[in-house]
């Protein structure tokens, strides 16, 4: 389904990003495994992908740094010749009620989740135009759709990702480049492990399908959007949340 394609996945050393990288490789893509702090985990992902007979490289870069994203993309274009699929998965939370939320915590979440998505999209814009093809898949969140008390910074960043996705989808629609967002609900990863047991129970009780999602649930949706099967889908936000946003 993705043979001959090269995918760049941000934050691919662990969690949902790791599973996206592995799943895209299972479908035949070569994968650029971006990480920020998790070097060893990213190198493990590279070894797993190489074990499938695909090419993979781990590359350190914080997506919050515009220049560093440009350097990473230039280096990877030189190494792989082309990048066909960009998955903006890197994300952080710094939760607090607004009354206790510092400006630094607001900025950090916006810089990684929203500006990070802009940074890589901006640096891939011309290469995608030149190739007359491309797929961009951005990770939003159910929180960006519904809002959530204690997550004003995160909700703003993920709602921003939706606006960014729809706008750039309109810009690039005439060029055979699709831009979509995936909005996960509650997925079992390090990010949700940080929640208290009572917070986890409260979220689980709001999921119509009565279970937490898995990274694979998200990765399969991303792989579909990256494939030719989704060539007529752009500017959409696909909720993969067990029905949370109904
Ligand atoms: P995790 O906390 O498990 O992993 C976060 C990932 O993001 C890590 O790979 C981390 O890399 C990377 N990352 C963080 N900051 C940066 C940065 N500045 N530059 C590059 N990479 C960075 O999160 P999940 O896997 O759960 O989440 C993945 C995405 O899905 C996020 O965008 C998140 O907001 C979204 N999401 C998750 C949900 C969930 O329930 N888990 C629900 C809705 C959305 P490293 O370890 O190398 O620092």
Angstrom CA distances, 202 to 155, 190, 212, 217, stand at 18, 18, 12, 21
* pLDDT, tens digit, 9 for 90 and up, residues 108-118: 999 999 999 99
Is residue 196 predicted with pLDDT exceeding 90?
A: no
| pLDDT exceeds 90 at position 195 | no
Pocket test for ligand 1, best of 8, 15, 69, 187 (most atoms within 8 A of CB): 15
CB 34, CB 63: distance < 8 Å: yes
What's the confidence (pLDDT) of residue 113? 99
Query: Which one-letter DSSP state was computed for residue 65?
Result: -
Upper half-sphere CA count for residue 183 (Cβ side, 13 Å)? 27
Lowest-confidence segment of 126-130, 131-135, 194-198 by average pLDDT: 194-198
Q: Which of 61, 4, 60 is nearest to 29 (CA)?
A: 4
Residue 27 has pLDDT above 90, yes or no: yes
Tokens at 10, concatenated: 């941000």
pLDDT at residue 114, as a whole number: 99
Q: Is 49 exposed, middle or buried (0-12, 13-18, 19+ CB in 10 A)?
A: buried
What's the burial of 82, exposed, middle or buried (CB within 10 Å: 0-12/13-18/19+)?
Answer: middle
Catalytic (active site) residue 154: yes
Confidence category of residue 186, pLDDT binned at 50, 70, 90: very high
Residues with CB under 6 A from ligand 1: 10-11, 13-17, 34-38, 62-64, 89-92, 112, 139, 141, 184, 186-187, 189-192
Ligand 1 closest atom vs CA 158: 34
């Amino acid at each position: 389904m993705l043979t001959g394609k090269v995918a760049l996945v941000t934050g691919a050393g662990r969690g949902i990003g790791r599973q996206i990288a592995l799943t895209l490789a299972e479908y035949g893509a070569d994968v650029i495994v971006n990480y920020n702090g998790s070097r060893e985990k990213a190198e493990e992902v590279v070894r797993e992908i190489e074990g499938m007979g695909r090419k993979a490289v781990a590359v350190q870069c914080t997506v919050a740094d515009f220049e560093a994203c440009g350097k990473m993309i230039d280096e990877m274009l030189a190494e792989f010749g082309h990048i066909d699929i960009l998955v903006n998965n890197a994300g952080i939370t710094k939760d607090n009620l607004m009354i206790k939320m510092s400006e630094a915590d607001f900025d950090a979440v916006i810089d990684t989740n929203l500006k990070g998505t802009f940074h890589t999209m901006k640096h891939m814009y011309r290469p995608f135009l030149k190739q007359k093809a491309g797929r961009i898949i951005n990770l939003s969140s159910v929180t960006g759709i519904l809002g959530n008390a204690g997550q004003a910074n995160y909700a703003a960043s993920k709602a921003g990702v939706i606006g960014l996705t729809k706008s750039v989808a309109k810009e690039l629609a005439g060029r055979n480049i699709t831009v979509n967002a995936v909005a996960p609900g509650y997925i079992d990863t390090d990010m949700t492990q940080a929640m208290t047991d009572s917070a986890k129970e409260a979220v689980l009780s709001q999921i119509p399908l009565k279970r937490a999602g898995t990274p694979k649930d998200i990765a399969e949706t991303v792989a579909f959007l990256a494939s030719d099967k989704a060539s007529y889908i752009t500017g959409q936000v696909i909720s993969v949340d067990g029905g949370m946003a109904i």
